[in-house]
């Protein structure tokens, strides 16, 4: 854990967070802590929290050792493209900095998201069994499963959005699982959630539906139709959003084994990776639903970079 992380309370960054050229300042009163949940409270209580808050952060839901072992496996492959510091333990995920072969790293990543090992990670017994219960039936895992890495010291950050924008072709009873693959303290730029924004997402979606009445069926479900901002984002300006909606960005020190479930209407984003210990952020975001609900056919293929979904 970085020295930054030792000087502060959980969820209270000791340093300002950056995203898309803007600063989420610790001084601005627009940052709060994501509230953790002990998975042992049971599925009904978890479901209640999920509906109340738009998310539930399940602490140590998965076996941390297995998650770290998977981290090591992923980085041992990405090392071939020069991503990790030569000679270092892949499980640490230490960045080699510049000089990586981006094309090669992307190709390897596209192989990894098609691998049996990744499929198994997302469908492991604890998660699959829980999803069946949570979704009150047989759960379905969307084939398009995303794995992301973020090197420290780069500008990479996910702009604010809610997931339904990308999945309008099926049910809205979707659940996203965001899984940090390895410890991800707040300075490593994990997911941040706009407090109470699942209600905002519902309103925004209603407005988009009204504006889209004259579009073709295909355009209506597209995140890139003319009524959307570029990329389907709500905004890249996180501080402005917190002011505009008079709310806070909730941040967290994630640990290996944690799983966050979020509603398809919950607005979230990520901040830049400022890891003082040079660690690469690695995570996956995958979507589950009840198999009997309508499935967005566009997500029936593996994720490809630039697939415009």
46-50 long-range Cβ contacts below 8 angstroms, 24+ apart: 46/134, 47/134, 50/175, 50/261, 50/263
Residue 176 interacts with ligand AKG (CB under 6 A): yes or no = yes
Q: How far is the CB of 264 from ligand AKG (least distance, A)?
A: 9
| Helix pair angle (64-78, 102-112), 10° resolution | 140
Of 158 and 212, the one with the shorter C-beta distance to ligand AKG is 158
Among 139, 263, 283, 290, binds ligand AKG (CB under 6 A): 283
Of 88 and 171, the one with the shorter C-beta distance to ligand AKG is 171
Q: Rounded to whole angstroms, how far apart are CA atoms 270 and 160?
A: 8
Residue 172 interacts with ligand AKG (CB under 6 A): yes or no = no
Instruction: Give 306's contacts (C-beta < 8 A, 6+ positions apart).
Output: none
Phi/psi-derived region of residue 50, left when phi > 0, alpha when psi is between -120 and 50, beta in every other case: alpha
Residue 178 interacts with ligand AKG (CB under 6 A): yes or no = yes
Is the distance from CB of 162 to CB of 288 less than 8 angstroms? no
Residue 282 interacts with ligand AKG (CB under 6 A): yes or no = no
Residue 163 interacts with ligand AKG (CB under 6 A): yes or no = yes
* Beta-bridge partners for 140: 289
Residue 285 interacts with ligand AKG (CB under 6 A): yes or no = yes
Site residues for ligand AKG, window 211-270 (CB under 6 A)? 268, 270
Nearest Cα neighbor of 236 from 4, 20, 51 is 20
Q: How far is the CB of 159 from ligand AKG (least distance, A)?
A: 9
Of 40 and 127, the one with the shorter C-beta distance to ligand AKG is 127
Phi, psi of 12 (to 5 degrees): -110, 100
Token pair listed for 260: 């966050």
Instruction: Using only the alpha carbons of the chain, give its radius of gyration.
Output: 19
Residue 274 interacts with ligand AKG (CB under 6 A): yes or no = no
Q: How far is the CB of 103 from ligand AKG (least distance, A)?
A: 22
Of 88 and 172, the one with the shorter C-beta distance to ligand AKG is 172
Q: How far is the CB of 158 from ligand AKG (least distance, A)?
A: 4
Q: How far is the CB of 162 from ligand AKG (least distance, A)?
A: 8
Residues in contact with ligand AKG, total (CB under 6 A)?
10
Among 148, 173, 211, 220, binds ligand AKG (CB under 6 A): 148
Pattern of binders to ligand AKG over 187-206, x per CB under 6 A? ----x---------------
Q: How far is the CB of 268 from ligand AKG (least distance, A)?
A: 6
Nearest Cα neighbor of 200 from 228, 161, 167, 231 is 161
Q: Which residues of 91-124 are buried (b: 16+ CB within 10 A; e: fewer)?
A: bbbbbbeeebeeeebeebbeeebeeeebeebbee
Interface residues with ligand AKG (CB under 6 A)? 148, 158, 163, 176, 178, 191, 268, 270, 283, 285
């Amino acid at each position: 854990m970085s020295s930054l992380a030792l000087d502060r309370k959980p969820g209270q960054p000791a340093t300002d967070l950056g995203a898309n050229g803007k600063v989420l300042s610790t001084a601005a009163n627009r940052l709060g802590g994501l509230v953790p949940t002990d998975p042992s409270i049971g599925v009904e209580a978890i479901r209640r929290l999920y509906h109340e808050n738009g998310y539930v952060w399940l602490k140590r839901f998965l076996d941390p050792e297995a998650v770290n072992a998977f981290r090591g496996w992923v980085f041992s492959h990405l090392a071939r493209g020069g991503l990790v510091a030569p000679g270092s333990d892949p499980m640490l995920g230490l960045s080699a900095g510049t000089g990586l072969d981006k094309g090669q790293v992307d190709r390897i990543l596209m192989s990894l998201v098609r691998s049996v090992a990744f499929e198994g990670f997302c469908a492991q017994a604890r998660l699959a069994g829980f999803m069946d219960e949570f979704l009150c039936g047989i759960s379905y895992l969307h084939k398009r499963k995303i794995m992301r890495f973020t090197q420290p010291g780069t500008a990479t950050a996910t702009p604010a959005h809610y997931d339904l924008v990308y999945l309008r072709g099926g049910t809205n009873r979707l659940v996203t699982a965001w899984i940090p693959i390895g410890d991800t303290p707040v300075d490593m730029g994990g997911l941040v959630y706009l407090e109470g924004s699942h209600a905002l997402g519902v309103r925004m979606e209603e407005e988009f539906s009204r504006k889209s009445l004259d579009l073709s069926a295909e355009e209506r479900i597209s995140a890139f139709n003319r009524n959307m901002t570029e990329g389907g984002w709500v905004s890249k300006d996180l501080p402005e959003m917190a002011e505009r909606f008079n709310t806070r960005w909730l941040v967290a020190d994630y640990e290996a084994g944690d799983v966050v479930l979020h509603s398809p209407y919950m607005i979230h984003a990520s901040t830049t990776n400022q890891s003082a210990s040079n660690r690469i952020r690695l995570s996956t975001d995958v979507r589950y639903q009840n198999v009997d609900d309508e499935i967005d056919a566009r997500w029936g293929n593996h994720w490809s970079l630039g697939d415009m979904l």
